[in-house]
A and B are shown apart, each in its own frame.
Chain A
Amino acid sequence: MKKFIAITLGILTAIGGFVDIGDLVANAETGARFKLSLAWVVLVGVLGIIVYAEMAGRVAAMSKRPVFDLVRERLGPGFGFANLAASFFINFLTLTAEIAGVAIAISLVSSVNYLLLLPVTGFLVWLVIWRMPFEWMERIFGLMGLALLVFAVTVWKIGPDWNHIFHQALHPAVPSKETPFTYAYFGIALFGAAMTPYEVFFFSSGGVEEKWTKSDLNLNRANVFVGFPLGAFLSLAIMLGATLVLAPRHISVDSLSQVALPTAFEVGKVGLAVLILGIFAATFGAALETAMSAGYIVAQFFGWTWGKFTKARHAARFHLVVLMSIVAGVLFGLSGVDPIKVTEYSIVLSAAALPLTYFPILVIANDRDYMGDEVNGPIVNGLATIYLIIILLIAVATIPLMIITKAGA
């Protein structure tokens, strides 16, 4: 019975944890501009992250080392450092966006300007990392994140014509107002939002922190196979809400408040309140994960002690990186950058940098020295290789597309 509860808890946590500000913005923006013509990208993305997150978790359980730790070791310091620099930069953008997301969520219920809330938000994020036990963190924010299911309630309340919906989703076409270039650009953004690299860093480091072993592999798989698809379900609900409520009114999404508008309009005050709670939880959880990821990847590259599972005094440099990343994220936010723009850039660049994160996982997951007999089977390798080719193509196409479309204008 205890095992059952543990698994259920893990799955519930996973659902709430798999949507962040990138998903909120990308799915709402895409739904408002492209309706359902990019819905298929969400499905492609979720399969990709399932394949790679399962591998990352398996690497953590079998080798007792998180993936990034092994990148320098297995692929050399040159590649490792390039990887570190790029991943750290993109992670930093994401961290800034998530912290801003928390502040915005609070501002929506308090009407205090979100800029004023940035410092206290940063402090809270740091404080939770500093003092809250790992499992509590996951459980509380994961479960609170379930509030985002109100997006599904929104769609249900609208009661759309499902035949029409499925037809639209299954027959993707570039809308007349858009060009193939903006279509591709937003497709990449959606893909980047679905396959976020920091999830992998956090997932595999977390697995080592929680001391996963071979017997935890099934729990890992349950988390991954149930959690991510449900995250995709939420993403599609967000997209559908925007398609049905915002698109017909020519509303394009450039703020988090607009993401909540369909729910407010259709469901009412309670729905809106629940949704804002969900946004708070999702962005706060993601802020925790990205801040810790900053510490993880730097500490692991240089071989320092790291993690929440040791006295803070004994992982001083790790905690310093976490602290400074949060401070820098708050300062960057205070400079007045548009958090939505930062979010857009972070997900698009995440997509472009995916090969850096996923190629090492694939290499290590096939290495018997680290994996024992839990190396990849042929099906996993086949899928993973197909995705590797996809993300390499995306990596090549992203910067040109960003220039051609002027970042999706």
Chain B
Amino acid sequence: MTAGRVLYAGLRLLDRQMLDRDGVPCGNVDDLELTPGADGDALYVTAIHAGPGALLYRMGRRRLGAWLQWAHDRLAPEGEEISTIPFQHVRDLGGSHVTLGLGRKDLATFSQERWVRDHIIGPIPGSQHEAE
């Protein structure tokens, strides 16, 4: 593992708004995955968790959170969206956002958006336009 930046994960990472590679909001950092380093002493942030159930899991509702994640995995037909984002996909931590090198469509946070878009909002006439 290469040496990483040192910062307050609780302040600068957790609950931050994530932007995808096009600068579009794609969810919040719900949770972080920590892995012990080679020396066994320090913990390193290795992934971001974001998606259905992740926040609940972190806030202590473990069973409900895990169930939501499981339900989402079962129901998501598109398959490849990830709710565990390996940290190497983080491109930038500047500003107050966490910018990813992935497109939002690759993320689990998008599947609900896609469903609502396809089944409810999209079919309403005028959804193609900006409401502005």
Contact = CB atoms under 8 A, between A and B. Distances in A.
B15 A313 contact: no
A188 to B, nearest CB: 32
Given A303-B25, A303-B26, A320 B116 contact: yes
Contacts of A370: 96
Given A129-B131, A305-B25, A63 B96 contact: yes
B96 A369 contact: yes
B13 to A, nearest CB: 10
A132 B126 CA distance: 11
A317 B96 contact: no
A177 interface: no
Interface in B91-131: 96, 109, 112-113, 116-117, 120-122, 124, 126-131
Interface in A26-65: 63, 65
A312 B126 contact: yes
Interface in B1-50: 15-18, 24-28, 50
Contacts of B131: 129-133, 308, 312
A121 B130 CA distance: 23
Nearest to B120: A320
Contacts of A132: 131
Contacts of B109: 303
A161 interface: no
Given A311-B128, A312-B127, A73 B117 contact: no
A310 B96 contact: no
B59 interface: yes
Contact of A302 (B27, B59, B126): B27
Given A303-B27, A316-B117, A317-B116, A77 B132 contact: no
Contacts of A133: 131-132
5 contacts: A81-B59, A209-B132, A303-B18, A303-B28, A303-B109
Going nearest first, the 6 A-B pairs with the smallest beta carbon separation are: A303-B28, A316-B117, A316-B121, A316-B116, A312-B127, A308-B131
Interface of A: 63, 65, 69-70, 72-73, 76-78, 80-81, 129-134, 209, 302-306, 308-314, 316-317, 319-320, 323, 369-370
Interface of B: 15-18, 24-28, 50, 55, 58-59, 96, 109, 112-113, 116-117, 120-122, 124, 126-132
Given A308-B132, A310-B130, 20 more contacts: A73-B15, A73-B17, A73-B96, A76-B15, A78-B59, A129-B131, A134-B132, A303-B109, A305-B25, A305-B113, A309-B130, A309-B132, A312-B127, A312-B128, A313-B117, A313-B122, A314-B117, A316-B116, A317-B113, A320-B121
